[in-house]
Structures are given as C-alpha cells and as structure tokens.
C-alpha cells in the first residue's frame, strides 16, 4: 500500500470544517490503496472541539501532533499554566487569546506574521516531517489550507526530499475577498510565497472551480495539474442518528458559525415579519442555531422579541449536528451576497442536501446558488430582500402543515467515499512521477 504524508493543521479534535475534510479523506483512502500519515497541531486555544470525530479514523492510523511558536498554541499553554497554578478560573484562563477582539487580533497578526499567525508552526512541522519521511518513506506529500503555512511547509519538504506535492485549497489565498495585508511589502512577500507554492506543486485541488480558475489566471498552469474536489457528506454519518430526537413544531435549523457578511440579521428581520403576520403560529415554530455564535446575535434576537422562538444551543458534535439536521423541517443556509458567496461552497450544504429537507438559502450569486438551483427543493432568497425571506419561511411552514416534503435529486457524487476515490486517483497520477531524494 502506498503512503501519503498529510499536513493538516486543522484535524480532530478541533471541530472545524477543515478538520472534517481531512478526516474523511484519511478515513477512506485505505479503501483505494493509500495509507495516510497525518501531521497536525498539538492542542491550541480554539472555539470548538469534537472528541467524537477521531473515532472514525482507521485503526493504527499514524497521527503526529506538533506544537509551534504561534499565538493559539502559546495561549493554550498559558491557560493550562494558570489553571495548574490555581491563579485563574477556567473562564479567565480560557480568555487569554481572546482579550483582544477578533478584528483587532487579526489586524495585529497581519503585521507580525506572514502568511498568517500559524507561521510559527512551519519549522516545527518541517523538522518532524523529515524524521517521519526518513522512517516511513511516503510516496507523496499532501497539504491542505487554510492555514497557508501548511503549503509553505509542504513546499520546503518537497524541495528537500523531491517528493511530489499535492495542494488542497479549501479557501482562496491572496485572492480571498477578505484578504488584508497592512503594507505593500507584506502583500508582495505573500504573493511571492503563493507563486512559489503553486508553481512547484505537482497537483492543485480546490473545493470550487472559481478558486481554481483564479489561481490559473494568475499563475498559468495546465488543466492536467488542477482538479476540483468539493466538500461532501459521509453516508455513514446518516446511519448513526439519534432516533429519539423528534420535534412537534415546525423546526428551522442552522449549523455553523457566523462572520462578516455571513450573519443572521436579515433572517431575524424576516422571521419577525412572518410572526407579526401569522401570530397564530408562534407556538408552533422554533429556530435552532447550532454553533459557536457571537453574543451580539443572541442579544439581537432578544431585542427583536424572538427569544421565545429562537434557541442558541451552542457548539455540538458533528454527529449531533447531523441528527438535528435530519430531525428538522427546514435547513437555513446563510452566505451573504459578497465576493465570498461567488467562490464559496460551505460544507454544510452537502449534508443539508443529503438530509432531504427543504432549504432556505439566503445567498447571492455564486457556486452555492448554482448548486441549489441544480438540485432543486430550495427557497432561494437575496440577503437584502427581507420580505422575500419572510415569504420563504411562510411557504416552508405551510408546506410542513400540509405534509409536503422535499425529495432531493441524486447527490451520490458528493459522498465522501466517492470524493476520496477522486483524490486517490490524483495521488496515483503524481506518485508515478515522484523522485525521492535520500535524506
């Protein structure tokens, strides 16, 4: 069986979409003749952790955890030190990295670190990887980003060892609509990093075609080097549902976090309008938010008089989230109408489609909109059209009352196993061209 060294900063127990993508690849790669060897971070300060995810890894999978000189890791170590010395409560200690708001923390990090605040992980992961490569003799290197420090580490390892390098872009890098660098020098250095990484890669994967097309336009590489592998759903996740989770109310559920233009503001306004026009349904509807939600949205829902309808349940395990999705009647997808919606394709959309429930999509033009139109069964609304969103909630509610259910079109091509088969085929292609150097 061939081996692949996978550099993935985000990996269970960190509860992030990037963690799940790499986990599912690692879970199914052995079915297609590839043994994964994973290098990820040690414990860090992070908003959500899911201890159930690692149980999905095949037995004896090698996972190496490497710490680095980077803010989230340092914050975690300080927090543990405070707790062990009894000098601070758990709540005080957990806030070490959160004393500065996220906005200003990101601005500070953009001055101090290139390509981002995980740069201090690079030398540690390279050192560890070289020892692993010497011992395990992998056939290729796979790096997934964000953070883009993983790609920098992958490039360094390729140059030292000669192993083929496969890049996975879960997000755009310098072409990200939210990309910010404080000076021209910062921007030039990071563009140079991106150029070196892309030009020296043996294969480039992205979760959407627009991200890949933008890279091609900027750096000019062949179609034979680039591939789209979207996120997806794992069929096995839908066979381990909580059968006792049932609702007697019309239930709208949102899973995940909010940031920037991806926020529930227009949905709350629309929900308020719907309830004001249909006061008799108030006791027959509930909205659930599963995820680490900023307290400002909790206060907003209260201020708008929605606290009896809207419940913020906090972060839940991925397994629990799937159970809630399947027990709900309408699934809420919010992506805003900025540049991100044009290129982004959030992982939750595939699990929403697999669940076979109606979807309320508050989204602008882009990949997500195109996919929902293709698959059907979704109420698609513009983020700025509150009345349209209110009408979609009303239609969903009365469909539920009449027993009308959404029958999804086939989406088997988005199963994690099928997507991993595509990845394994790419690995086979690039591994045949690899030239290993003795180290």
CATH number (domain holding residue 109): 3.40.50.2000
Q: Kindly state whether residues 75 and 205 are assigned to the same domain.
A: yes
Q: Kindly state whether residues 227 and 262 are assigned to the same domain.
A: no
Residue 438, in any domain of the structure: no
pLDDT at 123 over 60: yes
Number of compact structural domains in the chain: 2
Q: Kindly state whether residues 161 and 291 are assigned to the same domain.
A: no
CA gap 157, 171 in Å, rounded: 22
| pLDDT given for residue 340 in this prediction | 65
| pLDDT given for residue 207 in this prediction | 95
The better pLDDT of the pair 193, 102 is held by 193
Residue 242, in any domain of the structure: yes
Task: Give percent of the chain with pLDDT exceeding 90.
Answer: 62
Q: Kindly state whether residues 211 and 273 are assigned to the same domain.
A: no
Q: Kindly state whether residues 253 and 112 are assigned to the same domain.
A: no
pLDDT at 92 over 50: no
Q: Kindly state whether residues 144 and 243 are assigned to the same domain.
A: no
CA gap 258, 264 in Å, rounded: 8
The DSSP 8-state label assigned to residue 48 in this structure reads: -
Q: Kindly state whether residues 396 and 269 are assigned to the same domain.
A: yes
Sole residue written with tokens 């991200």: 211
Q: Kindly state whether residues 176 and 300 are assigned to the same domain.
A: no
Element (H, E) at 157: helix 149-161
Residues 332 and 268 sit within 8 Å (Cβ to Cβ): no
The predicted model gives 229-258 an average pLDDT of: 92
Residue 219, in any domain of the structure: yes
Residue 385 confidence class, pLDDT cut points 50, 70, 90:
very high
Residue 401, in any domain of the structure: yes
Residues 427 and 227 sit within 8 Å (Cβ to Cβ): no
| pLDDT given for residue 410 in this prediction | 62
Q: Kindly state whether residues 155 and 24 are assigned to the same domain.
A: yes
Residue 101 confidence class, pLDDT cut points 50, 70, 90:
low
Structure token digits, residue 373 = 């139109």
Sole residue written with tokens 């083929």: 164
**Domain containing residue 175:** 2-232+416-431
Residues 11 and 403 sit within 8 Å (Cβ to Cβ): no
Residue 267, in any domain of the structure: yes
Q: Kindly state whether residues 57 and 172 are assigned to the same domain.
A: yes
Q: Kindly state whether residues 403 and 291 are assigned to the same domain.
A: yes
């Amino acid at each position: 069986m061939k081996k692949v060294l996978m550099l993935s900063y985000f990996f269970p127990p960190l509860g992030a979409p990037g963690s799940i993508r790499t986990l599912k690849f690692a879970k199914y790669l052995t079915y297609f003749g590839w043994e994964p060897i994973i290098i990820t971070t040690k414990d860090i300060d992070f908003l959500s952790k899911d201890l159930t995810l690692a149980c999905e890894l095949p037995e004896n999978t090698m996972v190496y955890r490497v710490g680095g000189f980077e803010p989230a890791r340092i914050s975690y170590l300080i927090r543990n030190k405070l707790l062990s010395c009894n000098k601070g409560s758990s709540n005080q200690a957990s806030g070490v990295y959160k004393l500065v708001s996220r906005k200003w923390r990101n601005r500070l990090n953009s001055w101090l670190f290139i390509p981002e605040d995980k740069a201090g992980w690079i030398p540690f992961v390279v050192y560890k990887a070289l020892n692993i490569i010497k011992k395990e003799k992998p056939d290729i290197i796979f790096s997934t980003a964000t953070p883009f420090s993983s790609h920098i580490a992958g490039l360094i390892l390729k140059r030292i060892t000669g192993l083929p390098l496969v890049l996975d872009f879960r997000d755009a890098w310098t072409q990200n609509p939210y990309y910010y660098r404080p000076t021209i020098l910062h921007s030039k250095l990071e563009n140079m990093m991106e150029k070196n990484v892309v030009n020296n890669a043996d294969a480039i994967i992205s979760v959407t075609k627009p991200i890949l097309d933008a890279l091609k336009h900027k750096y000019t590489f062949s179609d034979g080097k680039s591939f789209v592998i979207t996120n997806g759903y794992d069929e096995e996740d839908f066979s381990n549902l909580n059968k006792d989770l049932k609702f007697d109310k019309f239930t709208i559920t949102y899973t995940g976090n909010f940031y920037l233009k991806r926020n529930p503001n227009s949905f709350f306004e629309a929900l308020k309008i719907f309830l004001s026009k249909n006061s008799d349904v108030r006791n027959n509807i509930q909205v659930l938010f599963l995820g680490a939600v900023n307290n400002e949205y909790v206060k907003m829902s209260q201020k708008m008089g929605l606290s009896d309808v809207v419940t913020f349940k906090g972060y839940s395990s991925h397994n629990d989230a799937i159970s809630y999705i399947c027990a709900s009647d309408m699934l809420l997808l919010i992506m805003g109408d900025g540049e991100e919606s044009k290129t982004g394709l959030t992982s939750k959309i595939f699990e929403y489609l697999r669940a076979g429930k109606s979807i309320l999509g508050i989204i602008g033009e882009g990949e997500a909109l195109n996919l929902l139109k293709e698959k059907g069964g979704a109420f698609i609304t513009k983020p700025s059209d509150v009345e349209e969103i209110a009408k979609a909630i009303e239609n969903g509610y009365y469909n539920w009352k009449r027993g009308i259910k959404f029958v999804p079109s086939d989406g088997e091509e988005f199963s994690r196993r099928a997507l991993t088969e595509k990845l394994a085929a790419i690995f086979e292609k690039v591994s045949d061209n690899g030239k290993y150097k003795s180290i």
